[in-house]
């Protein structure tokens, strides 16, 4: 929701390096990204997009707000992967919305939402930490932020957050 929680030295360079590496791996898996080229440690050229005010959250385990909302213990493995949508509006605290809200606000059609879900699950499967690897509870959550022509994936791994933007030809 846009609230800064702290400062990490060289975070921009680390995010740039990891994001570009992940985009390259995702491209190799058939997921088109909007990466054009890496200029240096902190700068990358990407294709221009129009932002869609929607965040897609894919969860494999109960953690954070999901665990709190549902009264589940942190780290509980979900029987089925959970897909959530949030309306990206900082002044409202990025409230959770459903497919009917999204359609009513004209953010995306039902067909687009189906394609968004399919892509989000594909990305989740690609990025999922194998079950035999230990995590701190944040290891199996993927956030997908949308733009006309791209996805931006926020991957939470062992307390670190990386941003990866992905191309989306259908939006």
Q: Rounded to an integer, what distance in angstroms lies between the CA atom of residue 138 and that of residue 55?
A: 17
Q: Rounded to an integer, what distance in angstroms lies between the CA atom of residue 98 and that of residue 45?
A: 33
pLDDT at 136: 47
Higher-confidence residue of 2 and 32: namely: 32
Contact 148, 46 (CB under 8 A): no
- DSSP state string for 17-59: HHHHHHHHHHHHTT--B-EEEE-SSS-EEE---EEEEEEEEEE
Q: What is the mean pLDDT of residues 132-156?
A: 54
pLDDT at 140: 55
pLDDT at 139: 47
Torsion, CA 88, CA 141, CA 163, CA 143, rounded to 10? -20
Task: Please state the pTM of the whole predicted model.
Answer: 0.73
- DSSP state string for 115-138: HHHHHHHHHHHHHPPPTTS---S-
Residue 156 has pLDDT above 70, yes or no: no
> What percent of the chain is modeled with pLDDT above 70?
71
| Among 80-84, 107-111, 127-131, the least confident range | 127-131
pLDDT at 100: 96
Confidence class for position 48, pLDDT limits 50, 70, 90: confident
CA 140 to each of CA 48, 83, 156: distance values in angstroms, whole numbers, following the listed order: 29, 12, 7
Q: What is the mean pLDDT of residues 31-59?
A: 81
Q: What is the mean pLDDT of residues 45-58?
A: 80
Q: What is the mean pLDDT of residues 42-59?
A: 81
Q: Please, what is the average pLDDT of the chain?
A: 76
Residue 127 has, within 13 A of its CA and on its CB side, a CA count of 33
pLDDT at 148: 58
Q: What is the mean pLDDT of residues 6-16?
A: 79
pLDDT at 112: 82
């Amino acid at each position: 929701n846009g609230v800064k929680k702290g400062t990490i030295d060289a975070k921009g360079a680390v995010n740039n390096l990891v994001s570009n590496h992940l985009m390259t791996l995702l491209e190799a898996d058939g997921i088109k990204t909007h990466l054009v080229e890496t200029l240096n440690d902190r700068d990358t050229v990407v294709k221009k997009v129009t932002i869609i005010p929607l965040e897609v959250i894919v969860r494999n385990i109960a953690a954070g707000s999901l665990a709190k909302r549902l009264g589940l213990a942190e780290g509980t493995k979900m029987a089925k992967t959970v897909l959530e949508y949030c309306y990206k509006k900082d002044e409202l605290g990025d409230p959770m919305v459903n497919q009917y809200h999204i359609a009513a606000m004209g953010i995306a059609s039902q067909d687009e939402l189906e394609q968004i879900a399919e892509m989000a699950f594909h990305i989740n499967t690609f990025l999922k930490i194998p079950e035999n690897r230990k995590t701190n509870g944040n290891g199996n959550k993927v956030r997908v932020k949308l733009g006309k022509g791209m996805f931006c994936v926020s991957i939470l791994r062992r307390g670190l957050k990386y941003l990866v933007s992905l191309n989306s030809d259908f939006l």
